[in-house]
Amino acid sequence: MLLEQYLQNIGLDDKEAKIYIAGLQLGPATVVELAKASTIKRSTVYEIIEDLKEKSLVSVTQRGKRKVFTMQEPDNLLLFLKQKENVLKQILPDLEALKNTSAKKPAIRIFEGISGLQQIYEDMIKIPGELLALAAPKEKISPKIFDYLVQSWEPRRIAGEVKMRRININYDNDWQLNNRKVERLEELEEVYYWPQRGYPFTVGIYIYRKKVAFVSFSEGELVGIIIRSPEINATLKMMFEMFWNR
């Protein structure tokens, strides 16, 4: 059954998927009824019920001398996935620490197109920390990417407690902003405003964790690169601080 396959794709095993679907179809049911509907041995159904209880996907009530099991609403699958996501977020820093620790060469990944650039930005906000950004000129950024950054990425960056220091062009034509830093506490951001004339960057450069990302929005390119290298990361950090404190 296709539904069973989808449930397995999100983390249930084959028997859990069968019992869950059988329970949704039956409504409140005994172990005997669930075993018959799912064609799984009764002794095994008891074990699976316990696993589903741990996933908050089944509730138990007493009807006379018998226990009756009711599958939780399908919306609870979203809660189950959220719990898995929270666990993954907790261990991500440890997994990142293991990655490429013994390799001598830096790891390089190339991304193309709108979806590829979005993958780069998603990588920046996987875990809390600090993000240093040398922003590309606004007029060079694809409208689709710009909308994604403003409407989706930026709110999630703030919610994920990824602080950002950003060097950007002073588009307001307010000379008093030139070469000034403005802190926005609610947005977890501090911006250094560079005068429009003489802005040196045509691509976005992002420095975070042990990585550096370069993003080109130019028509015909729309390409980005992530380099995972502590040495390159440290060098670009020093370059950023030179511009930040100029």
Q: How many CA atoms lie within 13 A of 229 on its CB side?
A: 15
Give residue 133's pLDDT. 98
| Mean pLDDT calculated for residue range 129-144 | 92
What is the CATH number for 233? 3.30.870.10
Give residue 107's pLDDT. 85
Give residue 102's pLDDT. 52
28 and 137 fall within a common domain: no
Residue 94 falls inside a structural domain: no
Domain region containing 172: 106-244
13 and 73 fall within a common domain: yes
Higher pLDDT, 79 or 96: 79
129 and 176 fall within a common domain: yes
Between CA 215 and CA 202 the distance in angstroms is: 9
Give residue 187's pLDDT. 94
Give residue 74's pLDDT. 84
110 and 153 fall within a common domain: yes
Is 226 within 8 Å of 120 (Cβ atoms)? Answer: yes
- Show the CA angle centred on residue 140, arms to residues 137 and 146, nearest 5°: 90
The pair of structure tokens assigned to 28 is 């409140």
Nearest C-alpha neighbor of 153 from the set 206, 111, 202: 206
Give residue 174's pLDDT. 79
Amino acid symbol at 43: S
What is the CATH number for 68? 1.10.10.10
Structural domains of the chain, count: 2
Tell me which DSSP letter residue 153 carries.
I
Q: Please give the share of the chain, as a percent, with pLDDT higher than 90.
A: 52
Nearest C-alpha neighbor of 3 from the set 168, 18, 15, 11: 18
Between CA 159 and CA 93 the distance in angstroms is: 18
Q: How confident is the model at residue 104 (pLDDT cuts 50, 70, 90)?
A: low
The pair of structure tokens assigned to 221 is 């390119």
DSSP count for the chain of H helices, then E strands: 9, 10
DSSP assignment of 135-148, as one string? PPPGGGS-HHHHHH
The pair of structure tokens assigned to 78 is 């979203």
**Per-state percent for the chain, helix, strand, coil, to nearest 5:** 50, 25, 25
Residue 89 falls inside a structural domain: no
| Mean pLDDT calculated for residue range 96-111 | 71
Residue 100 falls inside a structural domain: no
Tokens 């049911």, located at residue: 29
Q: How confident is the model at residue 237 (pLDDT cuts 50, 70, 90)?
A: very high
Residues contacting residue 203 through CB under 8 Å, at least 6 positions apart = 136, 214, 215, 216, 217, 218
